[in-house]
Amino acid sequence: MRINLMNQRRARDKDKTVQDILTAARQLFSEMGIYGTSIRDIEKASGVSKGLILHHFGTKEKLYAAVQDLLAQGYVTMMDTKRRKSKNFRDMVAAAVRSAFEYTKNNPEYRRISLWSYLEGQERNTELEKRFIKALIAAMRDGQQSGVVREDIDAFLMPFIIRGTIDYWIQKEKLVQELIDNGENQEGGPDDRLIDALTQLFTK
Q: What is the pLDDT of residues 146-199, one digit of tens each?
A: 888 999 999 999 989 998 999 999 999 889 888 888 876 666 688 988 999 998
In the listed set 38, 58, 78, which residue is the last one of a domain according to the structure? 58
Amino acid at 197: A
Distance of CA 110 to the CA centre of its chain: 6
**Residues 149, 202 contacting (CB under 8 angstroms):** yes
Which residues neighbour 199 within 8 Å (Cβ) at sequence distance 6 or greater?
A: 90, 93, 94, 97
**Greater model confidence, 5 or 125:** 125
Domain carrying residue 186: 63-202
Alpha carbon 129 to chain centroid distance?
A: 10
Query: Model confidence over 32-90: pLDDT tens digits?
Result: 999 999 999 999 999 999 999 999 999 999 999 999 888 888 888 877 777 777 777 78
Residues 45 and 67 in one domain: no
Please tell me whether residues 192 and 163 are part of one structural domain: yes
Let me know whether 88 and 21 are in one domain.
no
Strand partners, 149: 203
Indicate if 28 and 97 belong to the same structural domain.
no
Helix axes 50-57, 39-46, angle to 10 degrees: 110
| Top mean-pLDDT range of 1-15, 24-38, 95-109, 130-144 | 24-38
* 38/129 same-domain check: no
Residue with the bigger pLDDT between 2 and 137: it is 137
Predicted local distance difference test score (pLDDT) of residue 188 = 66
Same domain, 37 and 137: no
**With bands split at pLDDT 50, 70 and 90, how would you rate the model's confidence at 94?**
confident
Region at 186 (left for phi over 0; alpha for psi -120 to 50; beta for the rest): beta
Using the 3D structure, point to which of 17, 39, 58 is the last residue of a domain. 58
Domain count, the chain: 2
Say if residue 122 is in the same domain as residue 39: no
Check which CATH number belongs to the domain holding 75 and give it.
1.10.357.10
Asked if residue 78 and residue 159 are part of one domain, the reply reads yes
Mean pLDDT of the chain: 85
Q: What is the pLDDT of residue 166?
A: 92
Rounded (10°) CA dihedral 52, 56, 58, 64: -110
Distances (CA, A) of 136 to 98, 141, 143: 15, 9, 10
pTM: 0.77
Instruction: Kindly state whether residues 162 and 183 are assigned to the same domain.
Output: yes
Q: HSE of 106 in the Cβ direction (CA atoms, 13 Å)? A: 10
Q: How far apart are the two ends of the chain, measured CA to CA in Å?
A: 63
Task: Report the phi/psi class of residue 49: left, alpha or beta, with left for phi > 0 and alpha for psi in -120 to 50.
Answer: beta
CATH number at residue 26: 1.10.10.60
